[in-house]
Amino acid sequence: MILSATLSQEFDLMQASVTDLDTEDIGLCRTGDEDAYARIVNRYQPLIARQMWRFTRDAQKLEELVQEVFVEAYTSLHSFKATAPFEHWLRRIATRVGYRFWKLKARDTERREKLHLHNQETLPSAKNASPSEATEYLFTLLETLPAQERLVLTLLYFEGWDTQEIADHIGWTRSLVKVRAFRARKKLKKKLEASGYVSA
């Protein structure tokens, strides 16, 4: 019982300390102190990452969602009333971000399915397609790729940028550009082969 009471007291002190740190850093954030918000991010990033892992198993998307949570929290910091622990307030924002991600993902999946059905019904096959029709089909297929992969192929083949230029403009590493370009080309080739535009 003594040990249990001691642990409980230590936990209460730890919680109080964290709350004091939050209160101090939030106050500094509201005066424009960017270092204070960096401390908040470092303090809660592991917690938010664990929560967002429930919404996606994609490591890259997970990182994006965690960043989105902290951006939204920063822009909403003026609305934090301190009537509940900051952690609870932050986790509510994380839940909203995750739910919004699911809704957008479901909407995007439905759009892609409809677009695929439309392609099958209306777009010409390779055997009788004119050059302009084939080009239009290519652009339609690009629309079915994830935004980052579509961007890489567009910049590579329509803008004529090399991988280093893309990396410099977007803020990715050159290796990441190459990996995404490889994946995008592979997906696009598979789609074109299915329609007879590329020999298997």
Which are the contacts of 97, defined by CB distance < 8 A and separation ≥ 6? 52, 65, 68, 69, 72
Question: Does pTM top 0.75 for this prediction?
Answer: no
CA 167 distance to own-chain centroid: 18
Q: Which amino acid is at 34?
A: E
pLDDT at 134: 65
Q: Is the pLDDT of residue 15 over 50?
A: no
The stretches of the chain forming alpha helices (DSSP H) are 2-29, 34-52, 59-75, 86-122, 131-142, 147-153, 163-170, 174-194
Q: How confident is the model at residue 47 (pLDDT cuts 50, 70, 90)?
A: very high
Identify which has the larger pLDDT, 106 or 39. Answer: 39
Rounded to whole angstroms, how far apart are CA atoms 155 and 165?
A: 9
Q: How confident is the model at residue 16 (pLDDT cuts 50, 70, 90)?
A: very low
CA distances from 18 to 12, 26, 31, 33 (A): 10, 12, 20, 19
Q: Which two tokens stand for residue 36?
A: 């204070």
Angle at the Cα of 37 from the Cα atoms of 33 and 42, rounded to 5 degrees? 145
Q: Which two tokens stand for residue 144?
A: 């079915």
pLDDT at 5: 46
**Which region, left, alpha or beta, applies to residue 53 given φ > 0 means left and ψ of -120 to 50 means alpha?**
alpha
CA 149 distance to own-chain centroid: 13
Mean pLDDT of the chain: 79
Residue 198 DSSP label: S
Q: Is the pLDDT of residue 148 over 70?
A: yes
Q: How confident is the model at residue 117 (pLDDT cuts 50, 70, 90)?
A: low
Rounded to 5 degrees, what are φ and ψ at 188?
A: -65, -40
CA 174 distance to own-chain centroid: 20
Rounded to whole angstroms, how far apart are CA atoms 26 and 18?
A: 12
> Across residues 117-142, what is the average pLDDT?
62
> Across residues 141-145, what is the average pLDDT?
79
Q: Is the pLDDT of residue 88 over 70?
A: yes
